[in-house]
Structure 1
Amino acid sequence: MHAGHALAAEPQAAESVQQQSADTQSSTAAESVNPQRARREEALKAVSVTATRGGTADPNRTAATVSVITSDDIDENNAKDVKDALKYEPGVEVRRAAYRPSGITGSSGRAGNEGINIRGLEGNQVLLLEDGVPLPQSYAFGSGSAGRGDYLNTDLYQRIEVLRGPTSALYGSDGLTGAVNFVTKDPSDLLAIYNKPTYFSLKAGYDSTDRSWGSTATAAFGGDVVQGMIALSGRHGHETDNKGESNTLGASRSTPDPLTYNNRSALGKLVFKLTPRDTLKLTAETLSNANSSDGLSQLGGAYTWSGYTANGYVTGNEVNSNRVQLDYDHRDATNPYFQQLHASLYYRNASTRQTLDISGANASGATSARSRINDYGDNILGGSVVADSAFSTGVLQHKLTYGFDASVSHYSTASSAGGEWTSSADGYPEAFPKTTQTALGAFIQDEIRWNKLSVVPGVRFDYYDMTPHPDATYEAMSASSTKPTSTSTGNAVSPRLAILYEVSPAFVPYVQYAHGFRAPSAYQVNSFYNPAGSYGLYYQQVGNPNLKPETSNSVEVGLRGKLGVGHGQVNYSAAAFAGRYSNFIDSKVVGGSLTSATNPYTVQYVNYSKASIQGLEGKADWYVNDALEVKGGFAWIHGTETKDGVTSGLDTVPPLAVVLGVKYAPTERWFASADLTYNSRKNKSQMSSSSYFSTPSYTILDLHAGVNITRHVSVTAGIDNVFDRKYWIWNDVRGLADGDGAAKIDAYTAPGRNFNVAMKIDF
């Protein structure tokens, strides 16, 4: 169902682009000419793969809004994680709530970088891939909350490709509103820097937002036949700073709770150039992220249960991921049937474990404890084959892209609450049974050109089957459920049609229609939880085998081009889009009473709502001359959601965002840049509840600079939020209520003035 090959469909084409880029850097190292324009031009050529899932194409002939964040961008901004890497992309956000868990069900911040929001939708509604391999799904239960962004390490990426708009016609499920692919570095990327058979680099840096130190060591070797690389990366840090000032115990605490984290990852690749036309690549990657926190905001009488007051509140998170991938590429322009073919086979296993330990005492001095352990496992084995065929029929030129994907995923969960849960013999129930999901997909897209006109029809068929494997524990738990476990199957047809007309390179209007879908998650189809009155209340969660896939229908009208202005050049794009989303899956109370043992309060995932999202977005990059670059962009999105006939604002839609940046780099030796970020106020009329806290507007100034001390040693540094502005990011704090009080609201503020610095040595 997912894109086995995904956004970086043609590594050799990308390698060629990156080789040219590296050659440009090498040839101009001693000259006072900035290669920034050449690098950006080459990056844009690589991005075109995102929208076509085939070989490279002219971005001005692409009917989609695409963006790229290169490794140069990541290094120059000292981006320590995916939230930093994407912060200058309007309309694209990474949600990360303040780490402030509460009670035995509060999970605020435990998902870390939860996922990526594109055009107002997020979570599992956005397709996230790493080298074409789907990232694990997000999942939440009780005090546990597993996100998606913590499976990523920006130090390993050659580029991040962002495609806005439904992507199901090429990639299948989850692409309701966009896709992001994180493309890791290849040996050729590194060896081309100095055109030598070996390469080594060591990068180390500090970021004051969380007092973190990070370092990455990379080595590569190879020649014309065999190439290899290994990258080792780690970061150690603490809680993320905010603008809170109350450093006390309990609910009045507004400063962050103490936290310590350790992140480690490793990436290795071997590339075999079997013939001038055939390449085989083996990739192995492992990642381990862990943190622990002392919840001081829950002490001092803030959290009590059954007469006990908490005097200790400790949480722990551990995220692990291992990936192995084998890619085969064939390129032969003389082949009469297909000129490019990519085949991929991959396996990823990922897990999240989250713990909570609470200790307390009552008025008489007696002690008690509560604990929670939540485990989530997400494994996938998959593969894909994608081919390109170019041919002509009369005056029409065709570029046919076609292929298929297949995957088998296995999901599992387990939760423990010590002696509080007694419904199973071994003490830990599963929120949903172990589930195997099989997904098959096939697609075809034809880019038909006639002079300046391009028509791009495409269609994809997907089939999925979810089969639960309940063990004795789960069967004992769910024996009383009104919705017994069952299989769930479904299919979807996802069409797409785009039309472009290149009036001139400076003026290329386009229009496209696309359909998207997202299959239900395993825990939404089959789930059961019933504490059987253990807490004096009677409630349960039950599954729903009749869930339909979420769907979207989107229309986009856009304009893009590149034109000369004075001695420079402007690349620009603008788009207006509108989408209708149906069968949104959400939890809903379907009956029962909290006081009834025979008819408990019942919650179920149902196709509960529909949504409407419209917006405008645009971006421009002006290379004024060889030394000066000015860039800017904006995204305005409006969304509504309708539940049970009642329409309100869609909370996941961010307010108006505008970015403006200036970069000055007169020589290869140094650069300096300034970036302004503006977000408007989030109006209560655009929320689902008027009781929510309305985030004020803000404007943030960031400054960055870098210098090449020698050819092999460089230093970059930055000051973010230069004027120490107190502000809140809507999607990080949404759901926070006016009635929560000033202390809690201040606890969710973004960092104040902060700085970062890094040094890189390579040769």
Structure 2
Amino acid sequence: MTIKKNKLAILVGLLCAGTASAQDVYTFDEVVVSATRSEQNISDVAASVDVVNSETIEENLAQDLEQAIANEPGVSMPGTGRFGNSGFNIRGLSDNYVKTMVDGVEQPSSFNPGADVMRKYNNNVETDTLQRVEISKGPASSLYGSDALAGAVIIRTKNPGDLLVAEGDDTYASVKGGYYSADESYKATATLANRTGDLETLLIFTHRDGHETATHGSGADIEGRERGQADPFDINSDNLLLKAFYQLNDAHRIGLTGEIYNREADGLVLSNEGYEIMPGFVYTRNSASDEDKRKRVTFEHEWQANTVAFDHLKWQVTALESESNHNTFDETPEPPTSFGHGYRQRMRNGVDKSAQFDAQFDKAIELENSFHEISYGVNYITNEFDLDYRDYYLEGYKAGTSVDKTGEVPNAESVKWGIFVQDQAFFLEERLVVNAGLRYDKFTAEPKQASEDNPKSKSDALTAKLGAVYHWTESLSSYGNISQGYKAPTLQDLYYFYETDAASGAVFEANPNLKPEESIGYETGLRFTQDFGRIEFSVYYNDYKNFIETHKLADDNGQGKELWTKENISKAEIYGAELKTHLALDVLFGAPTGLYSDMSVAYTQGEDKENGEALDTVAPLSGYFALGYADVENTYGGKLSVKAVAGKSGSDWSNSNGTENVGAPGYAVTDLTAFYRPLTDLTLRAGLFNAFDKKYWDYNDLIGAESTTEGLDRRTQPGRNWGIEAEYVF
């Protein structure tokens, strides 16, 4: 039973380590947290997990989350234009179908009412603060509750211990600067970490100043709907991250985290200039001013208790507030020429306020023929969502007046709580690893001014997971799992209401009786690890039901208008396969020391089981290959990479509205990055991206577009661009 006892010693070491990183303990394999909510050797995890660490983010000069995860198979982040990236897409499902957490704090749901003047996304995370991003693929609600229908993205920012020596007093200080041609932006980051006795502190401040992300240079630089260049914006942001941890004694450690993020954008919406929505009703003087803000405070406590009930307890409480303020300006002709309004400001503000509590207990139990790592805990989250809409008339016959506008959903409050238990069990001298988990969640939502039309909504869910890994040899293992996911209806799902002022048109009724959307996933895979690298292959099938979709109730509601609502009416399936390798070519083929390669391939198919149509959010076949080198002293190196994506056209799109979606052509993009350390403490990095100036579209940016849609070039990705960075560690 030697191996099992070593496992117990390692677990106790991890729980007692305090600031020690998991990599300091598991030197023989990578450690992940997202798949089990506790540190586990990735070879013992019965699921697909991708990891992007701070070194990879720096190596790729990634400036946002979309760039950070761009090379991971089966994962993307849609979004372009004024409102930026919307949310993660994991294996064909996007946004609120993917759980996103930062330092254990659940991020609010994205809000997209469809109008071009309001979005509220919650993925403006500063990459210079990130230590690692873990992407857990497949339903994960048995661990993370609602929204983990397609998977979970677990993000951890840097801690002082990530930058300081393992023991003793120490100070770390660095400055980093960079320029990136895709958005003509400059960046400056200052980092300071310190350990004095039992107190550890960290400060990271980043300032960015730039412009809109460019589209391909071939697009027309004109005004109007056929504009092919991105609308010009001035954009700047500031992010401040503060952390402090204090080791009270051998058993207790407390921590405090504060973060403030602010992004401002001001620009001209030239793509709307001269837009005639109907005869005589022409938009001019189009501009916008946006501000996105986020602040959070977290207090946490770890207790190495070693009691009968648990060995280790970590609990934390968080206050999180995020706000999106959008101001859109335009002018339309006044009566009698038209029924316009003159020059106005459309204010569209949205605020999420959340209070969160999370507690997790861990217990290691050694039996005669097995070893168990049991985790159990509770989550409780309250959320307030408020919309403040108003039109201000600045010039013209209405000058000096304003009108309160009704938001798409009423201001509302919601409560989510859940309890979970999980067992990571080791049998047969750790050759067999079994993971079983169970969770119960309850969700309630209620408008602040409840009525018969907007009553309180309640739902709950019981989700489970069962997975196993078998180590056939020290190098070869296989795994399989069955897991469930669910997504409680969002406030937008439950209470969205719309009625046109025109005599005809449509009425959209709220439906507070919606049920949670559900999924069950099946996955199996192989892992092969040798001293020359790692090869992973997986196949999966995910089945979804109770999907919430828009449904027409009547062609005439008795007032000459169509009547629409949302209902749980759709079923879908998504299946596919992924291959990922990392090879040390010097070990494998006797190539020059330091030469390596990365490769991945992702194949996904999806279908609406109600009508047989394809799912628009499912990605086409994609592949990635990189050849890299770093000298033995890690003084210089570089990487050449190619990402190839197949086209998406014809039956690959749903075409459910009776019109054919424009095809997204296939493409291959080549990037080149390099680094050089002329001094021990100075690192220079440079990158050339889309080296051959390929004109291409991300398929996500063409969903819903037809061949007649104006301004398709405005949806292209940047052409050839470059970036440089310099970092000095004091």
User: What letter is aligned with 1:428?
Assistant: K
Pairs within 5 Å for 1:36-435: 45-47=30-32, 49-54=33-38, 56-97=39-80, 99=81, 110-141=82-113, 142-192=115-165, 197-243=170-216, 244-299=218-273, 301-305=274-278, 307-331=280-304, 335-361=307-333, 368-418=342-392, 427-435=404-412
Return the TM-score normalized by structure 2.
0.91
Name 1:582's counterpart in structure 2: 545
Unaligned runs of 5+ in 2: 1-13, 587-592
**Of 409, 427, 438, which residue of structure 2 is paired with 1:459?**
438
Matched, 1:16 2:20: yes
Question: Conserved in 1, the CA contact under 8 Å of 2:392 and 2:402?
Answer: no
**Of 650, 655, 658, which residue of structure 1 is paired with 2:620?**
655
Bigger mean CA deviation after superposition, 301-310 or 256-265: 301-310
Name 1:634's counterpart in structure 2: 601
User: What letter is aligned with 2:582?
Assistant: D
Structure 1 CA distance for aligned equivalents of residues 243 and 227 of structure 2: 47
Matched, 1:542 2:514: no
Bigger mean CA deviation after superposition, 139-148 or 669-678: 139-148
Unaligned runs of 5+ in 1: 1-9, 22-40, 100-109, 476-482
Q: What's the CA shift for 1:149? A: 4.9
Q: Does the residue aligned with 1:74 lie in a helix, a strand or coil?
A: helix
Name 1:669's counterpart in structure 2: 635
Name 2:3's counterpart in structure 1: none
User: What letter is aligned with 1:697?
Assistant: G
Structure 1's 44 and 156: CA in aligned 2 closer, same or farther, altered over 3 A? farther
Structure 1 CA distance for aligned equivalents of residues 161 and 418 of structure 2: 32
Question: Conserved in 2, the CA contact under 8 Å of 1:18 and 1:189?
Answer: no
User: What letter is aligned with 1:355?
Assistant: N
Q: What's the CA shift for 1:461? A: 0.5
**Of 482, 496, 499, which residue of structure 2 is paired with 1:530?**
499
Structure 1's 214 and 365: CA in aligned 2 closer, same or farther, altered over 3 A? farther
Q: What's the CA shift for 1:251? A: 2.6
Structure 1's 470 and 527: CA in aligned 2 closer, same or farther, altered over 3 A? farther
Name 2:589's counterpart in structure 1: none
Structure 1 CA distance for aligned equivalents of residues 335 and 496 of structure 2: 39
1:455-485 CA deviation, whole Å, 9 max, x = no partner? 22211001111122128xxx7xxxxxxx601
Identity of aligned residues (%): 27
Question: Conserved in 1, the CA contact under 8 Å of 2:391 and 2:403?
Answer: no
Q: What's the CA shift for 1:723? A: 0.9
Structure 1 CA distance for aligned equivalents of residues 654 and 479 of structure 2: 34
1:603-655 CA deviation, whole Å, 9 max, x = no partner? 3222131111001012111123451221111111000124xx42201000011
**Of 677, 699, 716, which residue of structure 1 is paired with 2:668?**
699
Question: Conserved in 2, the CA contact under 8 Å of 1:575 and 1:616?
Answer: yes
1:284-307 CA deviation, whole Å, 9 max, x = no partner? 0011112122122222x3334562
Bigger mean CA deviation after superposition, 163-172 or 275-284: 275-284
User: What letter is aligned with 1:656?
Assistant: L
Matched, 1:449 2:434: no
Structure 1's 691 and 340: CA in aligned 2 closer, same or farther, altered over 3 A? same
Structure 1's 148 and 700: CA in aligned 2 closer, same or farther, altered over 3 A? same
Q: Does the residue aligned with 2:30 lie in a helix, a strand or coil?
A: helix
Name 2:524's counterpart in structure 1: 557
Q: What's the CA shift for 1:530? A: 2.6
Return the TM-score normalized by structure 1.
0.87
Question: Conserved in 2, the CA contact under 8 Å of 1:388 and 1:399?
Answer: yes
Q: What's the CA shift for 1:282? A: 0.3
Structure 2 CA distance for aligned equivalents of residues 259 and 415 of structure 1: 23
Matched, 1:688 2:654: yes
Name 1:621's counterpart in structure 2: 582
Aligned-residue CA RMSD (Å): 2.5
Structure 2 CA distance for aligned equivalents of residues 144 and 124 of structure 1: 20
Structure 1 CA distance for aligned equivalents of residues 99 and 578 of structure 2: 20
User: What letter is aligned with 1:67?
Assistant: D
User: What letter is aligned with 1:562?
Assistant: T
Q: Does the residue aligned with 1:738 lie in a helix, a strand or coil?
A: coil
1:430-478 CA deviation, whole Å, 9 max, x = no partner? 322221111111111112221111222211001111122128xxx7xxx
Structure 1's 185 and 204: CA in aligned 2 closer, same or farther, altered over 3 A? same
User: What letter is aligned with 1:76?
Assistant: E
User: What letter is aligned with 1:572?
Assistant: I
Structure 1's 320 and 699: CA in aligned 2 closer, same or farther, altered over 3 A? same
Structure 2 CA distance for aligned equivalents of residues 83 and 11 of structure 1: 33
User: What letter is aligned with 1:427?
Assistant: D
Q: Does the residue aligned with 1:83 lie in a helix, a strand or coil?
A: helix
Structure 2 CA distance for aligned equivalents of residues 194 and 246 of structure 1: 58
User: What letter is aligned with 1:46?
Assistant: V
Q: What's the CA shift for 1:695? A: 1.3
Q: What's the CA shift for 1:53? A: 0.5
Structure 1's 261 and 42: CA in aligned 2 closer, same or farther, altered over 3 A? farther
1:381-403 CA deviation, whole Å, 9 max, x = no partner? 01111111111333122211111
Q: What's the CA shift for 1:365? A: 8.0
